Amino acid sequence: MVTILDKTFVPLISRSEIESRIAELATQISKDYEGRCPFFIVVLNGAFLFATELVKNIPLNCEISFVKLSSYAQTHSTGKVREIIGLEEKIAGRDVIIIEDIVDTGLTMAQLLTQVHAQLPQSVAVATLLHKPEALQTPVDLQYVGFEIQNRFVVGYGLDYDGIGRNLDALYVLA
């Protein structure tokens, strides 16, 4: 059990379960991209631990770049638009794999995918550690999913509650 600020969290997925599942994803990606040089886009802050564990298990030549999404939200006709910050490399013609911590409503990933596709990569895939299928509000194609979980708030392994908890080496769910 862990306490963060005013909330109590209980264990959901252990460090060893997480690491062995990530190793399986890495093996699958290594097979799928054999002979290619994928370009990983890691979405900060949440995906930092997942990305570290994933890429060190992928023995391919690859490039890794870290991006953030703008925290301010511009209001367009479509609603709140968060822009990718920090992608300096050209991804046109590349095999892109986006690494995310969690796909919840899917709205963030849908926006990210639109912005990435606009740069004309050869292919785009998504690797997410967690997915809450019940929370999905827009269809998104997810090629590599670590764990499908219930629609409950989780922390640890990169994910935070109000900025705290990212360093926990396992996943915890709100009690």
The contact set with ligand IMP (CB under 6 A) reads 46, 100-109, 153-155, 159
Cα gap 66→47, rounded to integer Å: 10
Q: Is 32 one of the annotated active-site residues of the chain? A: no
Least gap, CB of 156 to ligand IMP (angstroms): 9
Taking CB atoms within 8 Å and a gap of at least 24, the contacts of 10-17 are 10/172, 10/173, 10/175, 11/170, 11/171, 11/172, 11/173, 12/149, 12/154, 12/170, 12/171, 12/172, 12/173, 13/147, 13/170, 13/171, 14/170, 15/157, 15/169, 15/170
Largest CA distance in the chain: 49
The residue (of 48 and 60) whose beta carbon lies closer to ligand IMP is 48
Least gap, CB of 55 to ligand IMP (angstroms): 18
The residue (of 96 and 159) whose beta carbon lies closer to ligand IMP is 159
The residue (of 53 and 100) whose beta carbon lies closer to ligand IMP is 100
Least gap, CB of 163 to ligand IMP (angstroms): 11
The residue (of 90 and 152) whose beta carbon lies closer to ligand IMP is 152
Least gap, CB of 120 to ligand IMP (angstroms): 24
Pick the catalytic residue: 32, 95, 101, 104?
Answer: 104
Which residues are the active-site residues?
A: 104
